[in-house]
């Protein structure tokens, strides 16, 4: 009986030591800048009494000491909604019109950056990470009826961590966006 009790205590002590080693490694990685980038998607309230649709923003913050290169960003939502990049630049306005005209039933918006080499710089110890924000607009597709007060949107971000191995990572984030028809 004493032997069994000693074995249980030894096992518990071993598990605590493994857990503490894991936490210590995470703290060391954070101190050295070996952390995964923060990627989040947030919905914003619509602006003005006459505005329709919804607004969202995908934000990437690279707190890693190594640079990351965006490969692809994919946005998925309900088939009755079109997602476009929401900026005042003429090429984005044209791309948004093109996206609305070619959208198939449930087709996602895919931004392929493989040939663009879009790099988000790494940050040094104690310095805030580099940030990239992609503003998004959600609108009804054609004459489709969408009666919900919110719309769900998923972003799938593919990027390369520019370390010795150029490791490809995939992160999926989801947000609920206020939506006005």
Check residue 148 and give its pLDDT: 80
Q: Is 132 exposed, middle or buried (0-12, 13-18, 19+ CB in 10 A)?
A: middle
Check residue 155 and give its pLDDT: 92
Torsion sign (Cα): 6, 11, 12, 17: positive
Check residue 88 and give its pLDDT: 64
Class assignment of domain 35-178?
A: mainly beta
Check residue 156 and give its pLDDT: 93
User: Residue 122 is encoded by which pair of tokens?
Assistant: 């790494």
- Cβ atoms within 10 A of the Cβ of 53, count? 21
Closest CA to 118 of 77, 62, 175: 62
Mark the ranges of the chain whose per-residue pLDDT is less than 50: none
Largest separation between any pair of C-alpha atoms in the chain: 78
User: Distance from CA of residue 129 to its chain's centroid?
Assistant: 15
Whole-angstrom CA distances from 144 to 136, 140, 147 are 20, 6, 10
Q: Are 173 and 152 in contact (CB under 8 A)?
A: no
Check residue 138 and give its pLDDT: 84
pTM confidence score = 0.72
Check residue 97 and give its pLDDT: 58
Closest CA to 106 of 152, 157, 141: 141
How do residues 111-149 score in pLDDT, each as one tens digit?
777 666 678 888 766 666 788 888 888 887 766 666 788
């Amino acid at each position: 009986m004493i032997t069994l009790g000693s074995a249980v205590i030894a096992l518990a002590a071993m598990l605590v030591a493994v857990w503490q080693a894991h936490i210590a490694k995470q703290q060391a990685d954070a101190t050295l800048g070996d952390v995964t980038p923060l990627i989040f998607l947030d919905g914003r309230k619509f602006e003005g009494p006459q505005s329709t649709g919804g607004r969202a923003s995908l934000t990437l913050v690279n707190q890693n000491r190594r640079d990351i290169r965006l490969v692809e960003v994919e946005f998925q939502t309900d088939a009755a909604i079109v997602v476009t990049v929401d900026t005042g630049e003429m090429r984005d306005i044209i791309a948004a019109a093109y996206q609305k005209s070619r959208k198939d039933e449930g087709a996602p918006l895919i931004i392929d950056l493989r040939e663009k080499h879009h790099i988000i710089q790494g940050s040094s110890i104690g310095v805030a990470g580099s940030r990239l924000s992609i503003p998004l607009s959600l609108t009804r597709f054609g004459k489709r009826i969408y009666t919900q007060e919110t719309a769900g949107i998923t972003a799938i971000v593919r990027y390369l961590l520019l370390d010795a191995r150029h490791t490809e990572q995939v992160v999926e984030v989801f947000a609920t966006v206020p939506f006005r028809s």
